[in-house]
C-alpha cells in the first residue's frame, strides 16, 4: 500500500457531464409520459414472441456462449437435438395454444432456420405471424470486438434471407442473445429496421437515435422468458404460470382504456414446447385472455399504434 498522494487527474474524466453517458434516447420516466390509447381502447397489448433458433453443433462461442449453447465436448448431440426438438415438435404445440386464443405471434427467426426448415417458416406465415430477424444463427453474436463491416454484412445477409423467404418487410430485430456492439443500432437503422428488441429498460416503446435515423426500442423481456424462468432459474412449471399471471395482473391494474400497457412473453419452443410444460402456457394465457381489454397484437401492430401517438 503506497502512501504517495494520488495524481491530480486521478478523478478527472473528460466525458463527465450531467445526465446519461450516451445520447441514444432522451431520459424519461414512465409516469410522466403521454398516455397511449390502444385500438378499441384496450388496456393491455399482449405480444407473444416465440424464437426459432439454430445452434450449430460446432459452436465457436465467441465472445461468449449464448443461452442454450452446446455444453459438452463435441459432438454435443444431447443438447443439439434438444434444441432441434423445438423446431421439429415444440413449436407446433405453441401454435396450437396461441391459435386457440386467436393470438398472432411475432416470431423471431434465425436466418439459418429459414434455410434449413423452409416449411416451418411457411407454417408461421399461414398463421398470420409476423417475422422479425434473430440474426444469422445463435453462433453469430454481435459484440464490441466485431469488425463493423463484418457486422453490417451479417445484418444485410440476415435480412435478405428472411425478407425473400417470408415476403414480409421484416421490420423488427432481435440480436442473438440480445448482444450488441456499439455500432449495432446504427447499422440496424441504416438497414431500415423499425424496431429493436435488445434493450430491456422499459415497459413501453421509446425512440432510439441511430445514424440511419430513429428506430424504436420495444419492451421484449429477459425475465418473462421461459428459458430464464424454467432453465436458468430452475423454477417449476407452476412457477412459470404464476409469474406470467402475476406480471399480467400488475400491468392490468396499472393500465386503463386511456393509458395502455404492453405485456410481452418470450418463448423458446424447445423449452415450453415440452409435453409436461405446455399446460403452464395454456393456463396463463387462459387467465390473461378472459379479461376484457386485452389486445393480442404483433410487434408491428403495437409499434404503429404507438407511433401514431408519438410521431
Which residues sit opposite 48 in a β-bridge?
265
pLDDT in tens, 151-190: 999 999 999 999 999 999 999 999 999 999 999 999 999 9
Examine residue 10 and state whether it is found in any structural domain, yes or no: no
CB 132 within 8 A of CB 107: yes
Quote the number of domains for the chain.
Answer: 1
CATH code assigned at 287: 3.20.20.370
* pLDDT exceeds 70 at position 12: yes
Examine residue 4 and state whether it is found in any structural domain, yes or no: no
| pLDDT the model gives residue 187 | 98
The beta strands (E) that lie in 25-121 are given as 44-52, 106-109
Examine residue 121 and state whether it is found in any structural domain, yes or no: yes
Left (φ > 0), alpha (ψ -120 to 50) or beta: where does 61 sit? left
- Where in the sequence is the domain holding 192, given as residue range(s)? 37-307
* Angle subtended at Cα 208 by Cα 105 and Cα 171, rounded to the nearest 5 degrees: 35
Virtual torsion, Cα 90, 92, 98, 104, nearest 10 deg? 110
Phi, psi (deg, nearest 5) at residue 298 = -85, 170
Examine residue 165 and state whether it is found in any structural domain, yes or no: yes
Examine residue 27 and state whether it is found in any structural domain, yes or no: no
What is the distance of C-alpha 197 from the center of its chain?
4
Examine residue 13 and state whether it is found in any structural domain, yes or no: no
Name which of 80, 119, 111 is nearest 270 in CA terms: 80
pLDDT in tens, 27-76: 899 999 999 999 999 999 999 999 999 999 999 999 999 999 999 999 99
Q: What percent of the chain has pLDDT over 70?
A: 99
Looking at the chain, the number of H-run helices and the number of E-run strands are 11, 9
Virtual torsion, Cα 285, 287, 293, 297, nearest 10 deg? 0
- Range name among 17-26, 106-115, 210-219, 243-252 with the lowest pLDDT average: 17-26
Query: Roughly how many angstroms between the first and final C-alpha of the chain, as a whole number?
Result: 57
State the Cα–Cα distance between residues 122 and 76, nearest whole angstrom: 29
CB 25 within 8 A of CB 206: yes
pTM of structure: 0.94
Examine residue 30 and state whether it is found in any structural domain, yes or no: no
| pLDDT the model gives residue 2 | 63
pLDDT in tens, 113-161: 999 999 999 999 999 999 999 999 999 999 999 999 999 999 999 999 9
Amino acid at each position: 500500500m503506497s502512501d504517495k498522494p494520488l495524481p491530480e487527474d486521478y478523478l478527472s474524466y473528460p466525458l463527465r457531464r450531467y445526465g446519461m453517458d450516451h445520447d441514444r434516447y432522451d431520459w424519461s420516466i414512465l409516469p410522466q409520459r403521454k398516455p397511449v390509447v390502444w385500438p378499441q381502447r384496450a388496456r393491455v397489448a399482449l405480444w407473444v414472441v416465440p424464437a426459432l433458433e439454430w445452434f450449430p453443433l460446432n459452436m465457436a462461442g465467441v465472445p461468449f456462449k449464448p443461452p442454450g449453447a452446446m455444453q459438452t465436448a463435441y459432438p454435443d448431440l444431447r443438447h443439439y437435438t434438444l434444441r432441434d426438438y423445438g423446431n421439429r415438435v415444440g413449436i407446433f404445440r405453441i401454435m396450437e395454444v396461441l391459435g386457440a386464443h386467436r393470438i398472432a405471434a411475432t416470431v423471431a427467426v434465425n436466418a439459418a432456420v429459414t434455410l434449413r426448415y423452409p416449411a416451418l417458416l411457411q407454417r408461421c406465415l399461414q398463421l398470420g405471424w409476423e417475422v422479425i430477424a434473430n440474426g444469422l444463427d445463435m453462433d453469430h453474436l454481435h459484440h464490441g470486438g466485431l469488425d463493423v463491416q463484418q457486422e453490417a454484412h451479417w445484418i444485410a445477409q440476415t435480412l435478405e434471407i428472411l425478407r425473400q423467404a417470408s415476403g414480409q418487410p421484416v421490420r423488427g430485430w432481435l440480436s442473438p442473445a440480445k448482444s450488441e456492439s456499439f455500432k449495432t443500432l446504427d447499422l440496424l437503422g441504416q438497414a431500415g429496421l423499425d424496431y429493436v428488441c435488445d434493450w430491456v429498460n422499459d415497459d413501453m416503446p421509446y425512440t432510439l437515435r441511430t445514424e440511419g435515423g430513429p428506430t424504436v426500442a420495444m419492451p421484449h423481456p429477459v425475465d418473462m422468458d421461459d428459458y430464464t424462468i424454467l432453465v436458468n432459474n430452475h423454477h417449476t412449471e407452476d412457477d412459470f404460470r404464476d409469474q406470467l399471471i402475476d406480471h399480467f395482473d400488475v400491468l392490468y391494474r396499472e393500465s386503463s382504456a386511456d393509458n395502455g400497457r404492453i405485456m410481452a412473453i418470450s418463448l423458446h419452443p424447445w423449452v415450453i414446447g415440452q409435453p409436461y410444460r405446455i399446460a403452464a402456457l395454456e393456463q396463463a394465457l387462459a387467465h390473461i385472455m378472459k379479461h376484457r381489454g386485452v389486445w393480442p397484437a404483433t410487434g408491428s401492430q403495437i409499434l404503429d399504434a404507438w407511433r401514431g401517438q408519438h410521431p
